[in-house]
Structure 1
Amino acid sequence: MNSYGFPSLLQYSRLNTSIADTKAKAETARIEVVTGRIADLAAELGGSVGDAQLLRKAISDVELMGASAQRALGRAQIAQVALSRSTEGVEVTGTNLLSAIGRNDEQSIGIAATQAELQLDAAISSFNTRYEGRSLFSGDATNTLGLADKETLLTDIRAIFAAAPDAATREAQLDTYFNDPAGGFETNIYLGGDGNAPRTEISDGELVEYSAKANEQPVKDLLRSLSTLVIADESDAWPDREDALTKAGAGMIAASEDMVEVRARVGAAEERMVSAVSRLEAEATALGATYNERTARDPYEAASMLQQLESQLEASYLVTSRISQLSFVNYVR
């Protein structure tokens, strides 16, 4: 007669419980083999688990700040490119214009005006630059463009030229349009917000402001000079047209120089952010190394444990299979 005893429900249940427990431990071991890290920190580290959790939070905080600084650095870098593009060739055009006026060379004046219109297009496009869905020159209204289109500006300047009886009136009206807070530039052309873009925190309590706005004085002077040249070239009938052309040429040169100061301001903030990103990356690396020392699982130990548990599972499944095949007929055979 077979020596097996008839299995009881209790024995079968205990075996299943043991298998479930072994499976759970095997899954934990698999996770540790893959991640190289202790799966159950509380059970493994005991009272030191709090220190590990604080380290993990510190790493997360540094990584978040680093990511924020990296995004801000990207915005500053793109803003620098846009600022450079906004004045590209403008100083040369202004110099050529003044030379052409001195020679009374209408053809060269016309060429300068054509170049100025192209540069006006490029400048407005530059100040409407967006990065990661944010307008870079709209101040705190980051969801709107910085400036209206070129034709809107030229239409307004053309109306000023047409209405002014003399050069003094025209210049006074241009001053009001571009420099008065209630003037046409602020109401019709600048579309951004009154405040500056939000500052970025690059370390605990250290905030950096990196933005420029499309209604800053150098920007307005640049757009004024370019648009004035374009409109002044349209008609010989404007009062004292030569004076308007001369002021436009001199203004283009001066505005190009003033824009260098804006670029320098953004560049200074950019340098601070480059340093902050490097510092935060180094800090995250150091914290990560400490965290790994405390929470790492030896890969050979984890693999050995997994192999042992899998062997136990195979043995348990074999026993279960044999038990499940027992019957009263087998028992009495």
Structure 2
Amino acid sequence: MIRRQTAGLKADLTRLGTELTTGRKHDLGKALAGDFGPFAAIQRSLSSLAAYKTANSEASTMLAAAQLALENVQGSAQRLGPALLTASNARNVTLISATSQDARQTFSAVVSSFNARVADRTMFAGAAIDRPALASGEKMMADLATATSGETTAAGIIAAVDAWFDTPGGGFETLGYLGSSTDIGPLLIAEGESIEVSLRADDTVFRETLKSFALAGLIAQGALPGNADEQAALMAQAAERMLTNDGDVTNMRARLGAVETRVEGARARNAAEASAYELARAELIGADPYAAATELEAVYAQIETLYTVTSRIAGLNFTDYMK
């Protein structure tokens, strides 16, 4: 009889310890009166919300990284544009050459921004997340230098660069852009809600951005040697395009910001819904910590009483008794 009482008290001790630690009833079947349907439905909903939480986190990280990349691109243009105008107005060969060198280096930095990766995914290559969006800045500038090598006027170089970037099957599409022509698929952010992220380096806005840096950088590649007037005209055109395109980049970032706002809204709603489901689950299987602690103290008291009686009979110490 004492052995049975001991076993029962040990089982109660384990059960109450588990309930106190987990905050859940040890015997779910008893707590649910055998009806697991509502509990299973809550668990499914919480699992879905956990998946959406992960998806929201990944989407937020990607969108924030894209915003940072575009901020860098736009900042580069806002810095370089006025410098191009200054060099163009000065018509000073030395100043034009130095500014063009800066433009060529900045072109490569802008390309690097479009090739940025987050969570091992390229952001501006459309569905081709496993590879760079663009060839290196050096490679594109070398090909542009070849495409414009026979031109002796600013207008001729501008036309050749426009053709390289804009002609279907031209230099940009065959050598420059390495990504997919398909956008990345819709991203689920909540039940029945998804976002479309159209971020590709071959977008017209981004082509114009790259084009303006390339025009300014071609002088450093040897374009229009010794012709300060034509070099100044080329600089002026690059600056005008750079400054004009700034508004389009701002609009692109604003659209991206609107998507970020939707993701954050979904994140907040999902979190509130998860909290509601957790409360509902606690109503079904939650253990009252105060009641469990009180009952645990009572079990300890019973064990000590039983130990006192048993030890007098068998000469056991408490450690041996609890084995």
Normalised to the residue count of structure 1, the TM-score between the two structures is: 0.82
| CA apart distance, 1:165 | 6.3
Distance in 2 of aligned mates of 1:99 and 1:106: 12
Residue type at the aligned position of 1:261 = N
Aligned residue-pair number: 312
Kindly indicate whether the alpha-carbon contact (under 8 Å) linking 1:97 and 1:108 is maintained by their aligned counterparts in 2.
no
Tell me which residue corresponds to 2:289.
299
Tell me which residue corresponds to 2:66.
79
CA RMSD of aligned residues (A): 2.9
Kindly indicate whether the alpha-carbon contact (under 8 Å) linking 2:23 and 2:289 is maintained by their aligned counterparts in 1.
yes
Tell me which residue corresponds to 2:321.
none
Tell me which residue corresponds to 1:88.
75
Which residue of 252, 271, 280 maps to 2:242? 252
| CA apart distance, 1:174 | 2.3
Tell me which residue corresponds to 1:6.
none
Tell me which residue corresponds to 2:172.
185
Q: Secondary structure at the match of 2:188?
A: strand
Tell me which residue corresponds to 1:28.
15
Superposed counterparts of 1:280-299, under 5 Å: 280-299=270-289
Kindly indicate whether the alpha-carbon contact (under 8 Å) linking 1:225 and 1:248 is maintained by their aligned counterparts in 2.
yes
Superposed counterparts of 1:216-255, under 5 Å: 216-233=203-220, 234-237=222-225, 240-255=230-245
Which residue of 138, 141, 149 maps to 2:128? 141
Distance in 1 of aligned mates of 2:95 and 2:205: 26
Q: Secondary structure at the match of 1:87?
A: helix
Which residue of 236, 252, 259 maps to 1:262? 252
Tell me which residue corresponds to 2:26.
39
| CA apart distance, 1:95 | 3.3
Which residue of 83, 92, 107 maps to 2:94? 107
Which residue of 51, 55, 72 maps to 1:64? 51
Distance in 1 of aligned mates of 2:211 and 2:264: 34
| CA apart distance, 1:48 | 4.4
Kindly indicate whether the alpha-carbon contact (under 8 Å) linking 2:62 and 2:118 is maintained by their aligned counterparts in 1.
yes
Structure 2 unpaired stretches of 5+: 317-323
| CA apart distance, 1:20 | 4.6
Moved more, 289-298 or 159-168: 159-168
| CA apart distance, 1:296 | 1.7
Distance in 1 of aligned mates of 2:160 and 2:122: 30
Tell me which residue corresponds to 1:209.
196
Q: Secondary structure at the match of 1:137?
A: coil
| CA apart distance, 1:316 | 6.9
Distance in 2 of aligned mates of 1:219 and 1:117: 16
| CA apart distance, 1:148 | 1.9
Identity between Structure 1 and Structure 2 (%): 27
The structure-2 alpha-carbon separation of the partners of 1:74 and 1:322, relative to structure 1 and needing over 3 Å to count, comes to: same
Structure 1 unpaired stretches of 5+: 1-10, 326-333
Distance in 2 of aligned mates of 1:255 and 1:322: 94
The structure-2 alpha-carbon separation of the partners of 1:300 and 1:88, relative to structure 1 and needing over 3 Å to count, comes to: same
Kindly indicate whether the alpha-carbon contact (under 8 Å) linking 1:212 and 1:262 is maintained by their aligned counterparts in 2.
no
Residue type at the aligned position of 1:158 = A
Tell me which residue corresponds to 1:279.
269
Residue type at the aligned position of 1:237 = P
| CA apart distance, 1:226 | 0.9
Residue type at the aligned position of 2:49 = V
The structure-2 alpha-carbon separation of the partners of 1:25 and 1:50, relative to structure 1 and needing over 3 Å to count, comes to: farther
Distance in 2 of aligned mates of 1:301 and 1:112: 77
| CA apart distance, 1:286 | 2.0
Tell me which residue corresponds to 2:319.
none
Distance in 2 of aligned mates of 1:67 and 1:317: 55
| CA apart distance, 1:118 | 3.4
| CA apart distance, 1:197 | 1.8
| Cα deviation digits, residues 292-319 of structure 1 (max 9, x gap) | 2332211122123333444555637974
| Cα deviation digits, residues 108-145 of structure 1 (max 9, x gap) | 32332233133213211211222222211121111222
The structure-2 alpha-carbon separation of the partners of 1:50 and 1:175, relative to structure 1 and needing over 3 Å to count, comes to: same
Residue type at the aligned position of 1:32 = E
| Cα deviation digits, residues 1-58 of structure 1 (max 9, x gap) | xxxxxxxxxx8xx93x665554333222111011222122212221443212322222
Larger Rg: 1
Normalised to the residue count of structure 2, the TM-score between the two structures is: 0.84
Tell me which residue corresponds to 1:3.
none
Which residue of 114, 117, 120 maps to 1:130? 117
